[in-house]
Amino acid sequence: MSDADASGDSGDDGSGAFGAAIERGEDVPLLTGSGEYTDDISRRGTTHLAIRRSDHAHARIENVDTGDAEAMDGVLAVYTGEDVVESGVPNTIPTAWDLPGLVQPQYRMLATDKVRHEGTAVAAVVAETPHVAHDALERIDVEYEPLEHVTDPVEAVERDVSPVHDEAEDNVAFDFELGDADATDEAFADADRVASVDLRQPRIIPNAMEPRAALADWDETTEKLRLWMTSQNPHLHRMLLSAGTLGLPENKIQVIAPEVGGGFGSKIYHYPDEAVTAWCSMQLGRPVKWQATRSESYLTDCHGRDHVTTGEIALDEDGTIRGVRVETHAGLGAQLSQFGTATPSYLYATVLSGQYTIPAIHCRVVGAFTNTTPVDAYRGAGRAEGIYVIERLVDVGARELGMDSVELRRHNLVAPDEFPYESAAALVYDSGEYERAMDLALEHVDYDELRERQRELRDEDRYIGIGVGNFIESAGLSPSGLAGDLGAQAGGWESSIVRFDSTGSVTVLAGTADQGQGHRTTYAQIAAEELGLSVDDIDVVEGDTDRIPQGMGTYGSRSASVGGGSIARGAREVREKARRIAAHQLETSVDDIEFEDGEFHVAGAPDRSLHIQAIAHEAYLGHDLPEGMDPGLEETNFYDPENFTYPFGTHVAVVEVDPETGEIEIERYVAVDDCGEIINPMIVEGQVHGGIAQGIGAALYEGAAYDDDGHLQTRRMDEYAVPHATQLPDFETDNTVTPSPHNPIGVKGVGESATIAATPTIVSAVVDALEPFDVDHLDMPITPESVWRAAETGGDR
Ligand code: PCD
């Protein structure tokens, strides 16, 4: 580690594992096919569940006839919403975040009265094989009375439509405000210029490689439920399932997340489907497995974004930003999901200051129910939407002033000596050197020369665009007190256990849950560093609530800072206990013991030493420990950081557009990211690569489309465009390192950063290319058609 303060409080020398590009040990089982995903697991007598879903966007359920399905060979049971109600379980799917004035309609495992979006679960078939279960779905006869539907968040609120929920006649779930409206009005009245942009951030679909799945096994004799599921947060799922949904105490539920093939936010949510799987097992007393099909995933995995926004920026002639005003209609879908309420409010409005000192900010968000799949976290959740708005505003502001957009950015950056920086959008940024990262990114592309080239090429009717995206992210969701003040129904801490055994090997049990991020490698690096061991001495366990008693899970780029912070703290406590044992056995005082490469030795007498692994053995023998010390060598740690971490950086894209065909080619993509101390540079680079790809996907390709009947049109991989590798350039990545003072290892998150940065960067580049055609904004996804149309109609060509 490069920073002495961040590397630990002891001044001891670590093993050098932290910061090394160590290969991901977890990949071997995944690449050789021995990794176990939920669907690979089977219990004796496993049965199979398939879920009948509505093909209406909005309808009253008149009747559900299950007779034919029940009569099929191999069908064990067919359940409807009424059956769940009659079973007497609490049967609610709770949201995890309350907001002032929030309307919280009933949300049940299986619908009873109405279906509110295409894909709503209406009935459940359990059969001996998955094929029979799926065939039986077609034999269920559901009679509907169709109702008027709405899929657009603005229409939902403004047009007189039949409400999604009777409780919210105008379809408004919440009307949220942040910032100072009066101060913002004043800033706008005083400023020299105002620029504005109307924009849409389309609904996108997370597209994890592995569709959701669950296997539930209810043991009637112990009255205990074991539930394997594709979860980013098994403990949170245990909590939400217990009281609210199934009516079991937490100690009667074990949630296991085995290998999980990607989440990107879609596996945070406590969906009805996994709960139904568990409930069916409780009814039948047999194990029940549900594996979503790919189309079922498109239809029911949470979608992301879906914002319609008007943004305004007030500026002085010299480029000083005076204020920002934002009004957004956020589509929530038909139900309030886990983070469906927090994402477009607290995770969105609070980042609207971006990297800039903006004295006055006001944001209003109307959260609207629509007859669509519920919206929840998708990579960047809330922060991506907010940074997109401020970066678009800075670009249109620069256009308004006739100023280079980099100069406008530079003029308003929060300076290094202003940290901790309290923004007008209510966050306190931890640390940052924004200009250093921006300059590094600009250097990579040779910005001034590039602008020169752009001018020359325009004379030849060739149009390149240079897009610059500055971002911050509020990463590492915590601390609990603040989360509570803001309405969260859960804490923001993380928990871990660091345990030596008597042979000197170490097990780290962590409350987070990996879906591909590389926790097993990076957590081993953290523990190895603190304990002076090699990563091979350390085994990392996640994703099993019976092995790891407590945790909050993996989302909001929190695992490195909150989970990793907890592991570092636990490892340090373990090391200090070992130090006391060493002092005792070496017959010296604790203060005289030094620690290096796993070895405790007496200061000035390096040959009088004991290795930490030998001490572990002694700790479990318990024969010769300091007076009053308990045997064993393990610590359970709960860690509640004082604040988020604030990763930041600058991305630059160079594109060429062809106004004749609308074709967009990304020539170069440079990403400079600062995620504080880097645990593993190879993993961080991988996170940035994946993040850029998804950010570009949103800018140029992706979008969930509903037709006039409220049917999802993008429900297969050949209908929903994610970028292919051949459509992406080689990414050029670099880092600056500004440690976070908010956790013991100085790290900031990185998992979502590049997604947040890439989308505005690409949009900025395409719009910049089209400047000669007077185009100052294009909505996503920017397709060749939209470029061609803009070039035809946008300007004076
Ligand atoms: N790291 C390092 N260093 C630093 C930071 C970090 O090394 N400084 C690393 C760690 O350790 C890990 C990673 O990296 O391994 C990441 O981290 P973070 O940032 O902390 O994060 P996390 O928590 O772990 O994770 C989460 C994220 C998110 S959030 C998302 S979406 C996505 C990302 O992650 N998802 C995913 N990424 C990824 N990857 C993969 N492979 N897969 C997936 O699924 Mo949300 O909220 O949920 O919307």
How high is the pLDDT of residue 425? Answer: 95
- pLDDT surpassing 50 at residue 9: no
Q: Output the residue whose Cα is nearest ligand 1's atom 12.
A: 517
Q: Token pair for residue 511? A: 């409350």
Q: Which atom belonging to ligand 1 lies closest to the Cα atom of 753?
A: 19
pLDDT tens string 407-454: 999 999 999 999 999 999 999 999 999 999 999 999 999 999 999 999
- pLDDT surpassing 60 at residue 160: yes
pLDDT tens string 559-584: 999 999 999 999 999 999 999 999 99
How high is the pLDDT of residue 1? Answer: 35
User: Which residues fall within 8 angstroms of residue 292, CB to CB, at 6 or more apart?
Assistant: 211, 212, 213, 273, 300, 301
Confidence of residue 14 (pLDDT cuts 50, 70, 90): low
Bridge partners, residue 656, by sequence:
464, 665
Q: Give phi and psi for 674, each to the nearest 5.
A: -120, 110
Number of Cβ atoms within 10 Å of the Cβ of 85: 14
How high is the pLDDT of residue 2? Answer: 36
Strands 59-65 and 114-115: antiparallel
Let me know if residue 317 belongs to a domain.
no
How high is the pLDDT of residue 486? Answer: 86
Q: Is 471 helix (H, G, I), strand (E, B) or coil?
A: strand
Mean pLDDT of 481-503: 92
Q: State the distance from the centre of ligand 1 to the C-alpha of 750, rounded, in angstroms.
A: 6
More confident call, 479 vs 628: 628
Contact of 473 with 669, CB cutoff 8 Å: no
Let me know if residue 224 belongs to a domain.
no
Let me know if residue 75 belongs to a domain.
no
User: Taking the alpha carbons of 509, 515, 521, 527 in that order, is the dihedral positive or negative?
Assistant: negative
Burial of 746 (0-12, 13-18, 19+ CB in 10 A): buried
Q: Token pair for residue 404? A: 């280079």
Contact of 511 with 543, CB cutoff 8 Å: no
Burial of 155 (0-12, 13-18, 19+ CB in 10 A): middle
How high is the pLDDT of residue 482? Answer: 84
Q: Which helix (H) or strand (E) holds 215?
A: strand 213-219
Bridge partners, residue 197, by sequence:
311
d(CA 291, CA 487): 33
How high is the pLDDT of residue 796? Answer: 39
Q: Token pair for residue 194? A: 């105002």
Burial of 713 (0-12, 13-18, 19+ CB in 10 A): exposed
Let me know if residue 27 belongs to a domain.
yes
d(CA 654, CA 648): 20
- pLDDT surpassing 50 at residue 8: no
Q: State the distance from the centre of ligand 1 to the C-alpha of 742, rounded, in angstroms.
A: 18
How high is the pLDDT of residue 487? Answer: 87
Bridge partners, residue 600, by sequence:
595, 610
Q: Token pair for residue 395? A: 């670009």
DSSP output for 597-620? TTEEEETTEEEEEEEHHHHHHHHH
pLDDT tens string 329-356: 999 999 999 999 999 999 999 999 999 9
Q: Give phi and psi for 702, each to the nearest 5.
A: -85, 160
Q: Which atom belonging to ligand 1 lies closest to the Cα atom of 339?
A: 46
Please give the single-letter amino acid code of residue 156. Answer: A
Confidence of residue 647 (pLDDT cuts 50, 70, 90): very high
Let me know if residue 195 belongs to a domain.
no
Contact of 344 with 380, CB cutoff 8 Å: no
Specify the residue for token string 């200061």.
603
Q: Nearest Cα to 782, choosing from 654, 665, 649? A: 665
Peptide bond into 249 cis (omega under 30): no
Let me know if residue 370 belongs to a domain.
no
d(CA 759, CA 510): 32
pLDDT tens string 66-124: 999 999 999 999 999 999 999 999 999 988 889 999 999 999 999 999 999 999 999 99
Q: How many domains does the chain have?
A: 1
Which residues contact ligand 1 via a Cβ below 6 A? Answer: 232, 262-265, 268, 377-379, 381, 515-519, 522, 554-560, 675-680, 683-684, 687, 690, 747-752
Q: Output the residue whose Cα is nearest ligand 1's atom 27.
A: 751
Strands 731-735 and 664-674: parallel
d(CA 480, CA 493): 6
How high is the pLDDT of residue 95? Answer: 84
Peptide bond into 416 cis (omega under 30): no
User: Which residues fall within 8 angstroms of residue 551, CB to CB, at 6 or more apart?
Assistant: 233, 234, 235, 494, 495, 496, 510, 511, 512, 513, 545
d(CA 544, CA 550): 10
Let me know if residue 599 belongs to a domain.
yes
Q: Which atom belonging to ligand 1 lies closest to the Cα atom of 675?
A: 8
Q: Give phi and psi for 475, each to the nearest 5.
A: -115, 160
Cross-sheet strand order for the sheet of 731-735: 463-472, 648-657, 664-674, 731-735
- Strand ranges (E), 729-788: 731-735
- pLDDT surpassing 90 at residue 42: yes
- pLDDT surpassing 50 at residue 11: no
Q: Output the residue whose Cα is nearest ligand 1's atom 38.
A: 517
Question: Which residues span the domain enclosing 15?
Answer: 4-35+493-639
Q: State the distance from the centre of ligand 1 to the C-alpha of 519, rounded, in angstroms.
A: 9
Q: Which CA distances in Å does 281 have to 66, 113, 126?
A: 19, 24, 9
Q: Nearest Cα to 737, choosing from 779, 677, 794, 693? A: 677
Please give the single-letter amino acid code of residue 193. Answer: R
CATH of the domain at 15: 3.30.365.10
d(CA 343, CA 331): 11
pLDDT tens string 700-746: 999 999 999 999 999 999 999 999 999 999 999 999 999 999 899 99
Q: State the distance from the centre of ligand 1 to the C-alpha of 211, rounded, in angstroms.
A: 19
How high is the pLDDT of residue 797? Answer: 34
Q: State the distance from the centre of ligand 1 to the C-alpha of 688, rounded, in angstroms.
A: 10
Bridge partners, residue 51, by sequence:
124
The rounded percent of the chain whose pLDDT value lies above 70 is: 98
Testing ligand 1's pocket by substitution, the residue of 557, 639, 683 carrying the most ligand atoms inside 8 A of its CB is 557
Testing ligand 1's pocket by substitution, the residue of 559, 566, 648, 682 carrying the most ligand atoms inside 8 A of its CB is 559
- pLDDT surpassing 60 at residue 13: no
ipTM of the prediction: 0.99
Let me know if residue 584 belongs to a domain.
yes
Q: Which atom belonging to ligand 1 lies closest to the Cα atom of 564?
A: 11
Distance, CA of 86 to chain centre: 36
Reduced 3-state DSSP string for 526-570: HHHHHHCCCHHHEEEEECECCCCCCCCCCCCCCHHHHHHHHHHHH
Burial call 559-595: b when 16+ CB within 10 Å, e when fewer:
bbbbbbbbbbbbbbbbbebbbbbbbbbbebeeeebbb
Bridge partners, residue 601, by sequence:
594, 609
Distance, CA of 523 to chain centre: 19
Strands 648-657 and 463-472: antiparallel
Mean pLDDT of the chain: 96
Confidence of residue 282 (pLDDT cuts 50, 70, 90): very high
Q: Nearest Cα to 325, choosing from 198, 434, 415? A: 198
Residue 164 gets which letter from DSSP?
S
Q: Nearest Cα to 131, choosing from 218, 47, 227, 40? A: 47
